Amino acid sequence: MKGRMILSLLTLSLVLSGCNGNANDQYRVQDEDYYTNQNPNFIDLTENRPDIGDDQDKFVETIEEFTDYRPGSVFVSGANAYVTVHTTESLSEEEKQKEEKKLHKTLRKAMPRYHIRVTIHDND
């Protein structure tokens, strides 16, 4: 009886260890050259699928079209967007905060999915 139990346990351990193999290889995702901004459940497989760069371009287009500012750097990290704009005017701290709030509202309408942080550099 003991011998049969040991044989059963040995067989079971061999079967289970054989199943472990390289099971994770089938779930390995290939790295892409860019980050997509899509829902992972509904991936667009066409050549011109939207990505983070398209969102950055949308921020720049919005700044150029709806403001008098010159677009600076735009960084997107997850759900956060950091947008910098430049102006040749000299702004007080109060004016700068007011203009940043106004620009934030404009950008929020264009790209509502992001938490946007706006910075205005004056005298540029």
- Asked if residue 34 belongs to a domain, the reply is no
Domain CATH number, residue 85? 3.30.70.1350
pTM: 0.63
pLDDT at 28 over 60: no
Question: For residue 117, what pLDDT band results from cuts at 50, 70 and 90?
Answer: very high
Q: How far apart are CA 120 and CA 40, in angstroms?
A: 34
| Edge-to-edge strand ranges of the sheet holding 80-86 | 70-77, 80-86, 115-121
Which residue segment(s) compose the domain that 97 sits in?
A: 52-121
pLDDT of res. 36? 60
- Mean pLDDT over 12-19 rounds to 69
Output the average pLDDT for the chain.
82
pLDDT at 45 over 80: no
Residue 43, both tokens: 């991936």
- Asked if residue 79 belongs to a domain, the reply is yes
